[in-house]
A and B are shown apart, each in its own frame.
Chain A
Amino acid sequence: MSISFSEAKRKEVNDIIARYPDGKQKGALIPILHVAQEENGGWLDIPTMDYVANLLNILPIEVYEVATFYTMFNMKPVGKYVFEVCRTGPCMLNGSDDIIQYIKDKLSITEGETTPDGLFTLKPAECLGACGYAPMMQLGKFYKEHLTKEKVDQIIEDCRKNAGVNN
């Protein structure tokens, strides 16, 4: 299935490309891959990456090699809500292991897995720069900090509500 950006997205992308000097439009690749991933339901497939290559007038391989390098680009489909829970040192000192275990038990998934209903993916993350507000996770564009089991319950409930799913 191939994607095509809406007119509004095309304009957004063209504005990004216009920031770069003539002939240096490849600099826009990472920002545009973010847009493409969002448009494609949270991950990048080959047709999407080829589409981006075409937009920037570069070879598909130049897109693949970048997309596979950066952690934020998902090469496999993910759930509607991706819980990226930090587990590096400072979060570990404040109990991130327990939070990860709690999420695993609650959703019956392990690291990298998605729930059968396609709603949740657990993706352990390395330091997200919120060490003083640990334990924490990234959910979409925002951070959820000072996590407790109760807060995790609330987040999961809110996500289900937003998705219009009755448990």
Chain B
Amino acid sequence: MKLLLENAHIEGIRNYDIYRKHGGYRAVEKALKLTPDEVVEEVKKSGLRGRGGAGFPTGMKWSFLAKPEGVPRHLVCNADESEPGTFKDRYLMEFLPHLLIEGLIVSSYALGSNLTFIYIRGEYAWIVDILEQAIAEAKNNGWLGKNILGTGFDCEIYVQRGAGAYICGEETALIESLEGKRGNPRIKPPFPAVQGLWMRPTVVNNVETIAAVVPIINLSGEEYAKIGVGRSTGTKLISACGNINKPGIYEITMTESVEEFIYSDEYCGGIPKGKRLKACIPGGSSVPIVPTNLLFKTAKGETRYMNYESLSDGGFATGTMMGSGGFIVFDEDQCIVRHTWTLARFYAHESCGQCSPCREGTGWMYRILKNLEHGKGKMSDIDLLWDVQRKIEGNTICPLGDAAAWPVAAAIRHFRDEFEWHVTHADEAQKRNFGLAHYADPRPVPAS
């Protein structure tokens, strides 16, 4: 079942007329007949959870928005997609720009935002043109501007480019960046819902979250909540990459098992070259990596499914997280130490430098991992690495510190003997494609 990508295959769907012909902007027509509070209520009923990574209920986030008399409020769309393994928002914006604009109009109406921004990562430069084209078309057809559909509601949407900073995906850093400053996260509270952009009440939502508001209004919150399972309602986009036959964007109903998702031809289509599966990071680089034996089945021996609850079953000891849906698959030849090293380099590069545990810790982890990967590590380095990540986690203003610590912790937790092997076999450790085979799926490779 597809809600977001239902029309993605239609030729020219980027174009306003074709989008409209296939039912586009119905959600705006429907929502603007409701009161803003009724729209918020629909989103609450839908059970929609933030699709950027944290999974916080969107309706609740919206209901926290302060509404002081005479103070403008803002909606900001977080399109600063930078989590390694995640490229779903790019797909939505590139191929279905009107879906995002439609969702933004409905959401802006619900929240009372007359000035709404899309903050997009600077590297997606060509997508800015696509979005601005869509905004212009929407405006020409009366969906934006003054007195939309005669309701008295005014709304403008602008696209602002960032300039290459992962940290600006954190909502307070994003707000700082929108204000023309360095992307240093703010101390919370006050939360953006009370004091956000220019100290005005602000809601920051991910691209996919905003897009999901369109089917919620079209179907009704109650109907949307029936899709999915438990507290994982609706559909989720998964960007699948790494060692799989069919990398790309998949919309799932969160009822698929992880095994099905990796091996079925409808999704990833299995591992190339008949290799076996070693490990997976199912929700973007920040979430814990899990070896195959914990990926298909939880520690309790139950089948693991592609949803928030099932993926996090077992906590960080034996589970992982849904995160942003950046699904990274490792075949049996991949070296976990090398991969963890590239992630540590990423976080060291992206740390804003505000908090010393993160600023110093991410660089320190990077250097230790570099030594290990290049055959210059000591056995004690592994414990030191564990110690450093423990001292970052929870000790920083924003979650980047945690995001840097978790992948390192999980790699040591589940693949410790591979780290040790890098110390005891220093010469061989420098070979790039190395994987301890006992982690790989022991079963025969399914035919693909």
Contact = CB atoms under 8 A, between A and B. Distances in A.
B182 A132 contact: no
A19 B114 CA distance: 12
A157 B26 CA distance: 49
B374 to A, nearest CB: 13
A142 B94 CA distance: 13
Given A24-B198, A34-B122, A72-B122, A129 B82 contact: yes
Contacts of A21: 72, 115, 198
B182 A66 contact: yes
Contacts of B242: 90, 93-94, 131
Given A88-B84, A126-B346, 11 more contacts: A30-B162, A58-B180, A69-B165, A70-B122, A70-B162, A72-B123, A126-B345, A127-B285, A131-B239, A132-B247, A132-B248
Interface residues of A, number: 41
B373 to A, nearest CB: 11
A29 interface: yes
B77 to A, nearest CB: 15
Contact of B124 (A34, A66, A93, A129): A129
A73 interface: yes
Contacts of B156: 19
B180 to A, nearest CB: 3
Interface of B: 72, 81-87, 90, 115, 121-126, 156, 158, 160-166, 177-183, 198, 239-243, 247-249, 281, 285, 326, 328, 330, 334, 338-339, 342-343, 345-346, 349-350, 352, 432
Contacts of A69: 165, 182-183, 352
A134 interface: yes
Contacts of B346: 88-89, 126-127
Contacts of B183: 69-70
A29 B160 CA distance: 10
Contacts of B349: 71, 126
A97 B178 CA distance: 34
A120 B158 CA distance: 34
B369 to A, nearest CB: 12
